[in-house]
Amino acid sequence: ILNVEQSPQSLHVQEGDSTNFTCSFPSSNFYALHWYRWETAKSPEALFVMTLNGDEKKKGRISATLNTKEGYSYLYIKGSQPEDSATYLCASRDNYGQNFVFGPGTRLSVLP
Amino acid sequence: ETGVTQTPRHLVMGMTNKKSLKCEQHLGHNAMYWYKQSAKKPLELMFVYSLEERVENNSVPSRFSPECPNSSHLFLHLHTLQPEDSALYLCASSQGQGLAIHEQFFGPGTRLTVL
C-alpha cells in the first residue's frame, strides 16, 4: 500500500509571505502525482498533475516541482493572500495502477 | 460549480436503513470515483469506474455497493451501515480511462451520519 506524507501538517503565514510545503511518496513504481486545494465548505480543486521527473508546473502564484527519484514534490506559493487559505492535498498513483493514495494535507492559513 | 453534482447533500440514516447517494457529471468525462473523508483521516478512494467498468475496489465493505449505469451517473448504495461509516462522501470525475491519469473534478459531497 502506498504511503503518502505531507509536511508540515499546518502552517500560518502573513499576507505577502512566500511559502512552500512538501509531499513525500514512494519513488519505486511511481506513475503520477496530483496536487489539490481544498477550501472550507467547497470541493477539492485540482492544481497540478505531474508525471515526469524534474517537471515544474505553474498556475498564477502557485508552482510545483517533482522529484520522482527521491520521492518528493514541493508546492510553492509566492506572495500569499488570504484567499490562499485552504488545505493542500497531494496524491500519488503507482505504476501498478491499483493504488491512488492521498496524503493527510497541509492546512495553510494566511493572516491579513 | 465544478460540473459534478451530488445528492443529497446531507443524510441521516439508521443502521437498518437502505439509502443511495447519487452523483452526476456534466463534463463528458469517462471515469468517475467515490471517495470517503472520515474525521482526521486522509481522503480515501473507494471505487473507480472507467467507461462504466469498475477498475478499482479498495477492499471496501460489501455494505457499500456502487453502480454506474452510464458514464454520467454514479450511485453508491448503502445498507446496514455502521456508525463508523459516518463521513463525507465525495464523488469525482476525470477524462481518460483508468485510474488517476488526469485531474479530477469533485462534487460538493454528501455528509452522512449513521445513528
Residue A99 pLDDT = 78
Mean pLDDT value of segment B36-41: 92
Residues B53-84: tens digit of each pLDDT: 777 776 799 999 999 999 899 999 999 999 99
Q: What local confidence, expressed as pLDDT, does residue B50 receive?
A: 85
Burial class (CB within 10 angstroms; exposed 0-12, middle 13-18, buried 19+) of A36:
buried
Nearest to B104 among A46, A98, A101 (CB): A46
Using 50, 70 and 90 to split pLDDT, how confident is the model at A1? low
CA-based nearest distance A32→chain B, Å: 7
Only one residue has cell 443511495, namely: B20
SS3 B84: helix
Q: Are B17 and B39 in contact (CB under 8 A)?
A: no
Q: Does B52 have pLDDT greater than 90?
A: no
CA nearest neighbour of A67 among A9, A20, A22 = A22
Cβ of residue B66 closer than 8 Å to a chain A Cβ? no
Contacts of A48 in chain B (CB under 8 A): 103
Evaluate if residue A94 carries a pLDDT over 90.
no
The answer on pLDDT for A69 being more than 90 is yes
What is the rounded CA–CA span in Å between residue B88 and residue A14?
31
How confident is the model at residue A98, as a pLDDT? Answer: 67
pLDDT score of A95:
78
B58, B99, B105, B110: best to mutate for the A interface, most A CBs within 10 A: B99
Averaged pLDDT, A88-95: 92
